[in-house]
Structure 1
Amino acid sequence: MDTLCDYVTGREVPNVGAEENRQFVEKYLVNTKGYPKGSIAVDYPLALDLDGEVYETELDLVLSVDGLPLAVIKCAAASLDSRVREAVAAARIMCSSHQIPFAAVSDGVTALVHDGISGKKIGEGLSFLPSFDELVAWKNSNTLTPLPEDRKLRQGLVFRTYDSLNVNVQRHTG
């Protein structure tokens, strides 16, 4: 199997699915948007309790400020529009303490960036991905809110439905 060296982690990863696209996004985040590599989590583990059933998966990229996750990026090979609901649902459920304010889908050439809480589109294009400084400013001037309890199961089911359709991905979870 063909492999690549992950730009952020330095580890060898299988070159399957959207991996080359993810590598481009990682380089763009570090070199253009000013992210320290330590603020980018690759293959962020996610375990959801869906009414007693545990669903384990990984999120492609999670961007943090001082260890606080504030953006999630789904990397895809094509059909970005069809991945938006998955990214927004992930933003709403990945942290029990708060919803993630930014959700994006990228193929390495462009990006669809949405407000992770409202789901509204912020913009289209890599330039709409928040810079590290913009994420710091957002953190310092906004209050994070958790997803209401009565919406957690539904959003988890939406996420699982879309995530389970992903093919050509390398999972590290059991």
Structure 2
Amino acid sequence: MAEHHSHHLVYGTLNDYLTGEELVDTDDERIRQGLSKLMVEERGYRKEELQPRLSIETLFTRHFVTSVIDLTVRLEDRQFMIIRYGPGSLVSRERSAIAAARVLNPTYQIPLAVVTNGQDALLLDTASGKTIGEGLAAIPDRQAALDMLPSLLFLPFVDEEKRQREKRILNAFDLERCCLGI
């Protein structure tokens, strides 16, 4: 397990629900584990359809940022939804989740993004940036996702300049200012 430097209260370690990997046990990680359990035990996804902790690395204005995507959901060999967790306000996290869904996959934009604080959630359409569902119940279960899959847009990113702008947005939103002494 990697050394952990943070201002978060650390309880020790826990094993990841999906992979069994040993992780630092914090309040935030417990909520992330609860989201994984929700997706498997209540929403019907298979563990192997959920990819935890994928990341996007960006470097702009001398700020290197690793943006972590808490869960990426795959069906029929396509990533169709990401889930990003963060405490507090969901509205302040919408734009970075959309940017992450637009650039995580190098071949196409992932069509759906979810932002959640563990108590509430917003389901976002990546192409339009619009909210299409509210509340944890808005996160589609496996069957609903399979039903909607044929109508989802898996748009290629043809403009590299726009892709770079999305990465810049992600970098700015995910920069941890609290730990930089700013």
Matches within 5 A, 1:71-90: 71-90=81-100
- 2:33 is equivalent to residue 23 of structure 1: yes
Partner in structure 2 of residue 67 of structure 1:
77
Match of 2:168 among 136, 157, 171: 157
**Contact 1:22/1:107, CA 8 A, preserved across alignment:** no
Q: What runs of 5+ residues in structure 2 fail to find an aligned partner?
A: 1-9
Instruction: Spell out, residue by residue over 1:29-75, the C-alpha distance to the aligned partner (whole angstroms, 9 max, x if none).
Output: 1111111000111111324587xx98544311111113311111111
1:18-167, aligned counterparts within 5 Å? 18-48=28-58, 56-149=66-159, 150-165=161-176
In structure 2, distance between residues paired with 1:96 and 1:166:
28
SS of the equivalent of 1:18 reads helix
Cα distance in 2 between the residues matched to 1:15 and 1:96: 32
Once residues 86 and 62 of structure 1 are traced to their aligned partners in structure 2, the CA distance between those partners, rounded to angstroms, is 15
- Contact map agreement 2:67 2:170 (CA 8 A) in 1: no
User: Residue 7 in 1 paired to residue 17 in 2?
Assistant: yes
Equivalent in the alignment of 1:172: none
1:87-140 deviation digits (Å, cap 9, x = unpaired): 111011111211111111112211111111211001211110121222222323
Alpha-carbon distance in 2 for matches of 1:165, 1:28: 28
8 Å Cα contact 2:58-2:168 kept in structure 1: no
* Structure number with bigger Rg: 2
CA-atom RMSD, angstroms? 2.4
The change in CA–CA distance for 1:167 and 1:122 in structure 2 (over 3 A counts) is farther
**So what's the TM-score if we normalise by structure 2?**
0.81
3-state DSSP of counterpart to 1:78: coil
In structure 2, the CA distance between the partners of 1:124 and 1:141, relative to structure 1 (3 Å rule), is closer
Matched length? 167
Change (3 A) 1:34 1:167: farther
